[in-house]
Amino acid sequence: MTAFTESRRAVVAGNAATDTGHVLTRELRPIARDPFTLIFSLVQPLVFLGLFAPLLIGQSGASTAETLAWFVPGTLVMIVLFGTGATGSNLQYEMMTGSHERTLVAPLARSSLLVGRALKEIAPIIVQSLVIVAIAWPFGFAPHLAGMLVGLVLLAVFGVGLGSLSYALALATKDREWLFWGVQQTLIFPLLILSGMLLPLDAAPGWMRAVSAVNPINWVVQAERALFAGQFGNTVVLWGIVSALALAALGLWVGIRGIRRSN
């Protein structure tokens, strides 16, 4: 009986992995057909990079290279925050048009419908991050190569978690598009400001520093800065990894639970 149960679990796990691959392929096709949408979505981060970086240079008196070493990693986290944080709207559109109902009755593991979508977020994150790094490079931004690679992996894990939470929010709000965007916008901007990705929080009020200390995005931002500088031994790297993994685990758990209950 035990052997049969273990064999059955292995088959189910294999089917779920295969189904996840099918969903991932389906979700990546629109990106492959129109890759320029990834570039156009970089307008907002580039505006922040072009306007905030000169302000920081003027206020801090640091060199352009030093300012970019501080600001660019935060911009990459911003890409993930705005991009994957809003991706649940795509699922919400599918629910409103009836497309999601057809996928629910397909012979696919329910969990794969969420995990495949979440893993899809990795491709835009990597491509957009490399574009930002390439644009900043001629202006003196010189990241540590190994640290940058680890940083991109960390961003991917963070994006999977945030994307899963966005899909879970879409499943919870269903066809109430106003509610999805209301909750999303209410959460995104405080998390952005209290992460220190745009401006340093050293001179912020005590309550802001206290809140930022428990903001997981703050630790991801600090970890990215340390990794891009090649500071692997910095304790913020450990805290950033823990924060990203915890967010990914929470997002996948909430998202899978939500899609299994979807009807």
Share of the chain above pLDDT 70, in %: 89
The answer, yes or no, to whether residue 59 has pLDDT greater than 90, is: no
| Average pLDDT score, the chain | 83
pLDDT for res 10: 38
* Least confident span in 109-118, 131-140, 242-251: 109-118
* Least confident span in 15-29, 37-51, 61-75, 127-141: 37-51
pLDDT for res 47: 80
pLDDT for res 242: 96
Number of domains the chain is built from:
1
pLDDT for res 151: 95
Tell me the pLDDT tens digit for each residue of 166-217: 988 988 888 788 888 998 889 888 888 899 888 888 878 889 889 999 999 9
The answer, yes or no, to whether residue 13 has pLDDT greater than 60, is: no
- The mean pLDDT value for 8-35 works out to 69
The answer, yes or no, to whether residue 157 has pLDDT greater than 90, is: yes
| Backbone phi and psi for residue 107, each to the nearest 5 degrees, phi listed first | -75, 65
pLDDT for res 104: 76
Determine the structural domain holding residue 201 and report its residue range. Answer: 2-260
Tell me the pLDDT tens digit for each residue of 206-231: 898 899 999 999 999 999 999 999 99
The answer, yes or no, to whether residue 239 has pLDDT greater than 90, is: yes
- The mean pLDDT value for 41-49 works out to 77
**Dihedral over alpha carbons 148, 153, 157, 159 (to 10 degrees):** 60
Two tokens, residue 42: 């970089």
